[in-house]
Amino acid sequence: MSFKPEFVEQQLQLSVTLSLILKGVMGFAIAFQFPMIVLILVYVGILTPEMLRNHRRVAIVGLFVVGAILTPPDPISLLLMSLPLVLLYELSIWASYIMVRRKRAAVED
């Protein structure tokens, strides 16, 4: 704040600041529950690993849209949310393969 030019008037508002912080924190908290939701849907049988793999491009675009909605309007926040979500999506695909394989093995036994 000490680097601002003389002609800029500084007006901090607690409600705006807290709203921005809470929106960011809650956005990240909700978004990172995504793999659990995917694994629950795979376990129930609504999704399959093949379906997740085949719709990867649509999912990545969707994750970037969700990242843009849940973060403040700057590209760094968008990337900080969307790139881990894409990584978590890929990990969800691998975890769903493992889950389906274990489920099949349990049925065979």
Average pLDDT over residues 16-42: 85
Decide if 85 is inside a domain: yes
- Domains in the chain, number: 1
Which residues lie closer than 8 Å to 35 by C-beta, 6 or more apart?
88, 89, 91, 92, 95
Residue 29: pLDDT over 80: yes
pLDDT at position 46, please?
93
Please identify which residue in the block is written with the tokens 């399959």: 48
Nearest residue to 35 (alpha-carbon basis) of 83, 90, 81, 73: 90
Residue 45: pLDDT over 80: yes
Decide if 8 is inside a domain: no
Decide if 58 is inside a domain: yes
CB of 70 within 8 A of CB of 27? yes
Question: Token pair of 70, please?
Answer: 């849940």
Residue 30: pLDDT over 90: no
Compute the mean pLDDT over every residue in the chain, rounded to the nearest whole number.
87
Average pLDDT over residues 74-91: 89
Decide if 20 is inside a domain: no
Q: How big is the CA angle at 75 (ends 32 and 16), to the nearest 5 degrees?
A: 80
pLDDT at position 6, please?
79
